[in-house]
Amino acid sequence: MFDTKVYVERRNRLRKMFRTGLLLFTGNGESPMNYPSNAYKFRQDSTFLYYWGINYPDCAAVMDIDKDTEYLYVNDVDIDDIIWMGPQESVKEKGARVGVHSVCPLKDLFTSINNAVRLGRKIHFLPQYRQDNTEMLSTLLGIKSKHIKNYVSQKFIKAVVDMRSVKDEYEIEEIEKACNIGYKMHTTVMKMCKPGLMEYELAGAIEGITIANSGYISFPVILSQNVHILHNHDHSQKLAANRMLITDAGAENEMNYCSDFTRTIPVSGKFTQKQKDIYNIVLEANNKTIELAKPDVSYKSIHLEIAKIITHGLCNLGIMRGNVDEAVENGAHALFLPHGLGHMMGLDVHDMENLGENYVGYDDEIIRSDQFGTSSLRMGRRLQKNFVITDEPGIYFIPELIAKWKSEKINMEFINYDKVNEYMDVSGVRIEDDLLITENGCRLLGKKRIPVTVEEIEEIMKK
Ligand code: GLY
Ligand code: MN
């Protein structure tokens, strides 16, 4: 947990953005796997953690703007809890650690919100992603649960996004720790990888690293020889010498801050010429992002710039053809890069995605494209100092998408399908690093960059 004053200051800043009403915060409850007392690892809501710091199930909180008061709602443990879980911090102690002195049992939340509803007061709340919290809001507010989403507060969303987008020094330190766990995960894959092993042996080893570092995975590990399946959680294949292997994985450290890295390596430990051809284009795109990312530059413009690098590289190989600018304008590159360059990262690996991607990644000036590929860009707006973003270009050979474009004659003039056929067995490459935007540019997060050049990867895999 951070120092008490961090939470007090955050709440003070938030409070000042409102003139009237109540801000209602929902914490998360336990989530059962297969019966109620057998739960998934508990994960607190990130906005709740950000303002209230308490990593404990079944909490809620309210800021009353008009009365300038704040309340934390959480039940105290009883003797039954102590028998099963051991002695616990009291709710008073919990509150004191984050500077809250009014701590009440959860049932009081119902009384206080009911009163506010009766008086017709404005109650701001955020979008919900867990059914039990939606149901609780439905009961509290007297709104059918399926309509709760229509009553979320845009003002509240925007205030939270404004604050959480710009990371403070304490957060950067934590993200850096998560990145250092990420380094261990990815170098472990590089060292362990060899033909004949099963994908799950590597996936299990790196998930174990997160736990052994007092954390957890920041999202389910993507580790697969089917690199072209963007979010492939299947780990059932045997590693084969002629394949590429993607690992897209990160850690959440004990303070719940995230990392997210991707490396693509040759299972044999040595790149073939065709694998290297594709790899080096993606690496150029990844490095170009690091060169271009700085305050005031929009991430959408960088996405389009790296789309040109990818198109240019594929033209050099004869896979694409024609004028690079025209190809990108027409979205032809998206046959090979159907996703965006990156996203915000912080307490969530896709930071604040639960509040709405467009609030986080776009604004009145930079709006989301509706063109296939570029429309998947989660983060498009201008960068600011202390934003943390991912830089994750890729090139993929997706058989079904290629077959569709070919049969529908989409962007025919820019694609040379005979040459595409020659590269199908490369499957794909994605390279992802985490960037902190600085005063005049950006820097890679983590003590050391995970091996990334062809030479560095071949070197570490040799050991
Ligand atoms: N690294 C997984 C993702 O960004 O979606
Ligand atoms: Mn990512």
Q: Report pLDDT for 116.
A: 97
Q: How far is the CA of 260 from the centre of ligand 1 (A)?
A: 7
Q: Report pLDDT for 149.
A: 97
Closest residue by Cα to atom 2, ligand 1, is 248
Q: How many CB atoms lie within 10 A of CB 409?
A: 9
In the chain, which residues have pLDDT < 70? none
Would you say the pTM of this structure is higher than 0.95? yes
What are the start and end residues of each CATH 3.90.230.10 domain in the chain?
Answer: 169-461
Give the span between the Cα atoms of 434 and 324, in whole angstroms: 28
Secondary structure string (H, E, C) spanning 192-236: HCCCCCEHHHHHHHHHHHHHHCCCEECCCCEEECCCCCCCCCCCC
Q: What does each C-alpha distance from 195 to 199, 242, 270, 351, 457 come to in angstroms?
A: 10, 9, 12, 36, 16
Q: How far is the CA of 311 from the centre of ligand 1 (A)?
A: 22
> Between helices 299-316 and 273-292, what is the axis angle to 10°?
150
Q: How far is the CA of 308 from the centre of ligand 1 (A)?
A: 22
CATH 3.40.350.10 fits 4-165, yes or no: yes
Mutate to test the pocket of ligand 1, among 179, 230, 232, 248 (most ligand atoms within 8 A of CB): 248
Q: Categorise residue 90: left if φ over 0, alpha if ψ from -120 to 50, beta otherwise.
A: beta
Q: How far is the CA of 218 from the centre of ligand 1 (A)?
A: 10
Nearest CA to 25 out of 362, 358, 349, 355 is that of 355
Q: How far is the CA of 248 from the centre of ligand 2 (A)?
A: 8
Q: What does each C-alpha distance from 355 to 112, 132, 154, 359 come to in angstroms?
A: 25, 17, 9, 7
* Atom number of ligand 1 nearest to Cα 349: 4
Within 8 A by CB and 6+ apart from 304, the residues are: 328, 374
Class of the CATH-defined domain 169-461: alpha beta
* Atom number of ligand 1 nearest to Cα 432: 1
Give the span between the Cα atoms of 221 and 204, in whole angstroms: 9
Report pLDDT digits (tens) over 438-462.
999 999 999 999 999 999 999 999 9
* Atom number of ligand 1 nearest to Cα 249: 1
Q: What share of the chain is helix, strand, coil (3-state, %, to 5)?
A: 45, 15, 40
Q: Report pLDDT for 463.
A: 81
Ligand 1 binding pocket (C-beta < 6 A) is: 219, 248, 260, 343
What are the start and end residues of each CATH 3.40.350.10 domain in the chain?
Answer: 4-165
Within 8 A by CB and 6+ apart from 253, the residues are: 174, 177, 178, 181, 213, 214, 215
Phi, psi (degrees; rounded to nearest 5) at 125: -140, 165
CB distance 281 to 394 below 8 Å: no
* Atom number of ligand 1 nearest to Cα 248: 1
Report pLDDT digits (tens) over 331-372.
999 999 999 999 999 999 999 999 999 999 999 999 999 999
* Atom number of ligand 1 nearest to Cα 390: 4
Report pLDDT digits (tens) over 207-238.
999 999 999 999 999 999 999 999 999 999 99
Give the ligand whose atoms come closest to the C-alpha of residue 388: 2
Q: How far is the CA of 344 from the centre of ligand 2 (A)?
A: 9
